[in-house]
Structure 1
Amino acid sequence: MRKSFYQFLMTQRNPASYDEIAQFANNAFYDQSFPKQEQNYQRLSEYLEENANYLPSMTIFDAAFQKYQEQAQNL
């Protein structure tokens, strides 16, 4: 079964890193409302646009989602 985007994102966490995706993951970890089972780009994008004031740019989400898709294809 394919991982959810949240499960993938948690593999990117690194509190000591200044990498944008790592920072996104660190902040998403504390977001109690994050759709943890979601795999759909559009639904995740809508959630983040409306609720994720910790995400300075949606291009960070786009880059993270691209990595998520690439990882899923390599499994």
Structure 2
Amino acid sequence: MHKTFYQYLMTQRNPDSTASVAEFANNAFFDQSFPKQSQDFHEVSQYLELNAGYLPTMTIFDEAWQAYLASEA
């Protein structure tokens, strides 16, 4: 069974880190509406574009998504 993107992202949490992916993960953890069950790029991307004021640039998501895909390979 494959992890969802959210499950992968939670492995990147680190409250003491200033790394952009760690900050993204920390903020997503507190986002009650995050699509936690999704493995679909477009669904997660659209959600973030419309709702994630905590994500300063979608490039961070793109990099995290690529790392997610690599972790599933």
Q: Among all aligned residue pairs of Structure 1 and Structure 2, give the percentage whose two residues are the same amino acid.
A: 62
Counterpart check, 1:15 vs 2:15? yes
Distance in structure 1 (CA, Å) of the matches to 2:32 and 2:5: 15
Offset of residue 34 of structure 1? 0.2
Distance in structure 2 (CA, Å) of the matches to 1:30 and 1:58: 18
Offset of residue 68 of structure 1? 0.1
Aligned positions, number: 73
Offset of residue 44 of structure 1? 0.5
Structure 1, residues 7-64: CA drift from partner, whole Å, max 9, x if none? Answer: 0000000000010000000000000000000001011000000000000000000000
* Residues 1-75 of structure 1 mapped to structure 2, 5 A cutoff: 1-73=1-73
How much is the aligned-residue C-alpha RMSD, in angstroms?
A: 0.3
Runs of 4+ in structure 1 over 3 Å off: none
Distance in structure 2 (CA, Å) of the matches to 1:2 and 1:24: 21
Normalising by structure 1, we get a TM-score of 0.96
SS of 2:72's equivalent?
A: helix
Structure 2: gaps (5+ residues): none
Structure 1: gaps (5+ residues): none
